[in-house]
Amino acid sequence: MSMIAPRLSFAAPRLLPVTLLAGSLAAGIAYPLINGPAGIAITALVKGLAVGLLAAAATRLATPQRWWLAAIMAAGALGDVLLNIPGLFYAGAAAFALGHGTAILFYRRHRRVAGKAEHLAAVAILLWGAAMPALVSPAGTALAPLMVYSVLLCAMAAALLLSRFPRLALVGALLFILSDMLLIMRMGGHLVGDAQAHGLLVWFSYYLGQLLIFLGVAAGLSKGTAR
């Protein structure tokens, strides 16, 4: 299987508005720096802007299908804000689940003829989604809600694998999975390095994942890789 990923044109503001992307990057870098010293409202705002500005950038794409990508990113931004507010963990998880469901529907609309190896890889991703909560969750955790979410997340990545979108987006989805796995590990006290280092891994694998999903899908829509 061969796929030629389209080049990204940062010179065309209608395709990839540089200002919005720069703002997203600034918020993505700033969030872990202010998380803690700043109040809940400020940190939630900055965290939401990191992916929220990607949603805004998606609305500038020159294709009617931009609203799908905007909705996917907006659901992630909403989830980010809700997760940052005490007591709203499940509401945040629900927002992310809605985004994953929307993404699955969208990527399935752009599926391509895939080979046997790719279908096997998609099945492996789904199986990991079913197994991950039991493997990395702390003892006593209610596994059913985590399993539903994990399967949705991995189904999103599998749908990207079997879609026409550039592989850049798939790399982003896999980073998203890594971030959530690290997040669940932290709930059980299993850290990679110290708490600060682990937190940085959780955030930057998530944010970079969302950014790569955005860039890959936007490139596919703008250049005609996905039809």
- How far are the Cα atoms of 20, 43, 112, 184 from residue 49, in angstroms, in the given order? 10, 10, 33, 24
Question: Between 18 and 6, where is the model more confident?
Answer: 18
- In degrees and rounded to multiples of 5, residue 113 shows phi and psi of -75, 110
What pLDDT was estimated at residue 189? Answer: 67
What pLDDT was estimated at residue 109? Answer: 94
**Taking residues 169-176, what's their average pLDDT?**
98
Question: Between 182 and 15, where is the model more confident?
Answer: 182
- Per-residue pLDDT tens digits for 74-130: 999 999 999 999 999 899 999 999 999 999 999 999 998 888 999 999 999 999 999
Are the CB atoms for 15 and 219 separated by under 8 Å? no
Is 15's pLDDT higher than 90?
no
What pLDDT was estimated at residue 7? Answer: 46
Cα angle, residue 179 at apex, residues 175 and 183 outer, rounded to 5°: 170
Are the CB atoms for 50 and 80 separated by under 8 Å? yes
Is 11's pLDDT higher than 80?
no
**Taking residues 1-26, what's their average pLDDT?**
63
Are the CB atoms for 221 and 69 separated by under 8 Å? yes
What pLDDT was estimated at residue 130? Answer: 94
- Per-residue pLDDT tens digits for 16-74: 688 999 999 999 999 999 987 778 889 999 999 999 999 999 999 888 999 999 999 99
**Binning pLDDT at 50, 70 and 90, where does residue 193 land?**
confident
Is 6's pLDDT higher than 70?
no
Is 13's pLDDT higher than 90?
no
Is 2's pLDDT higher than 50?
no
pTM equals 0.88
**Binning pLDDT at 50, 70 and 90, where does residue 226 land?**
low
